[in-house]
Amino acid sequence: MMRNKNELVKVTVNIFGEEYTIKGTEEPEYIERLAEIVDNQMQELHQKNPSLGISRLAILTALNLADQMGKLQEEYDRLSNQRKKRKDEKSLNPDNRIK
Amino acid sequence: MMRNKNELVKVTVNIFGEEYTIKGTEEPEYIERLAEIVDNQMQELHQKNPSLGISRLAILTALNLADQMGKLQEEYDRLSNQRKKRKDEKSLNPDNRIK
């Protein structure tokens, strides 16, 4: 059965041994996937630094995610600029130039 | 003075009232910017939910960042696929086709 895209869903996920009920209009599988990403990164960091408390672990995980996003944003901007450049070159093509 | 790109730098940032010393090869300004993103999102979430403890706040912030990254990844894939499609179309151009 198709889900209404604006329908609010409640999904309970487990991150680092604690339950979180997330409300949103996203697909439950998407929310579960996000929780898995956060949980995996926290577990990994915990294994490397077993003495870190949960709040520091979570903040460092958030920092890592912000870093991953920053790098993806750079890649995105690079791709998007290449595209813009090609478009500009096209519009400077002699055939299209105002005479 | 130019900084050696592989040089390990230590940057101390403040996130939600706690200090974190981050070691990395990134520019200090970049690490400070990441800390600012995490701190801002935690402060915003805290204002909406003043009863949430710091670890839950940090985990929810990490989830939000994973969500923002997921959406950026979708955009990136869309742009990258459009580009691939254009390349495929070009290679199917009759002039380039193997005769």
Gap from B59 CA to chain A (nearest CA, Å): 5
Pairing of strands A9-15, B9-15: unpaired
Q: Indicate whether B59 pLDDT > 70.
A: yes
Closest CA to B11 of B40, B35, B43: B35
Tell whether the model's pLDDT for residue B7 goes beyond 90. Answer: no
The A residues from 56 to 95 touching B (CB cutoff 8 Å) are 56, 58-63, 65-70, 72-73, 75-76, 79-80, 83
SS3 content of chain B, % helix, strand, coil (to 5): 60, 15, 25
Q: Can you give the C-alpha Rg of chain A in angstroms?
A: 22
Q: Which two tokens stand for residue A2?
A: 């198709």
DSSP class of B17? T
The sign of the CA dihedral B14, B17, B21, B22 is negative
Between chains, do A65 and B62 touch, taking CB under 8 Å as contact?
yes
Binning pLDDT at 50, 70 and 90, where does residue A97 land?
low
| pLDDT for residue A96 | 58
Task: List pLDDT tens digits, range A35-82.
Answer: 999 999 999 999 999 999 999 999 999 999 999 999 999 999 999 998
DSSP state of B93: S
Band (A95; pLDDT cuts 50, 70, 90)? low
pTM: 0.83
pLDDT in tens, B64-93: 999 999 999 999 999 999 888 888 887 777
Q: How much is the ipTM here?
A: 0.83
pLDDT at A20 over 60: yes
Quick check: A16 contacting B, CB < 8 Å? yes
In chain B, where the domains are located? 9-91
State the smallest CA–CA distance between residue B58 and chain A in angstroms: 5
Size of interface A-B (CB pairs under 8 A): 99
